[in-house]
Amino acid sequence: MSEFESPAPELGPGRAPDGPAGDEVIVNIDVNGERVRRLCSASRTLLDFLREDLRLTGSKHGCDVGDCGACTVLVDGVPRLSCITLAVEVEGAVRTIEGCGPAEAPIIAAFDTHVASQCGYCTPGIILCLSHLYTETPCPDDTAIRRALGSNICRCTGYTKILAAARQVAAANGATHTDEPE
């Protein structure tokens, strides 16, 4: 049993007996390459499931309505706002900032080089959105970078350093940027 597993009764696909609220379900998903099987409320968000049940606190509570991007995770490689996604809805592999690997190393290094993270609250969501972008479009232009970051709010940096870091990674991938840094 991995550190993320907890005993759950065998009750058939997805449902558990009525719990205190009568809405408990078994969540059975992959998180950062580990199989996770836990009993939780059917109304529990993926964000709360990750942070409270699995103690993966890299994804943050920001707005709790899907507006800020601080809660972004990747589900099957695609950004998903975990504050408005129910844990029971997830059928794919979840990757949080704690599950970052070699694909994100250039992004993290560029953030360090450009000091693109100040308070760090938004950084996990931004890094995961950029990871998705470079997977889909290795050499994005500034429009694609801005579009990829459109769901992420950063209240500290003004985005200049974040865009510089994103441009550095794109350039390393072979992109040529004609847009002037702001």
pLDDT one-digit tens code per residue, 165-180:
999 999 999 888 655 5
Note the pLDDT tens digit of each residue in 17-49: 444 456 899 999 999 999 999 999 999 999 999
Q: Looking at the domain 24-96, which fold is it?
A: Ubiquitin-like (UB roll) (3.10.20)
Residue 56 CB-density burial (10 A; 0-12 exposed, 13-18 middle, 19+ buried): buried
Instruction: Give CA–CA dist 34/67, Å, rounded.
Output: 29
Residue pair 106/169 in contact by the 8 Å Cβ criterion: yes
Residue 110 CB-density burial (10 A; 0-12 exposed, 13-18 middle, 19+ buried): buried
8-state DSSP, 104 = T
Q: What is the pTM of this model?
A: 0.83
Q: Looking at the domain 105-172, which fold is it?
A: DNA polymerase; domain 1 (1.10.150)
Residues shown for the chain: 182
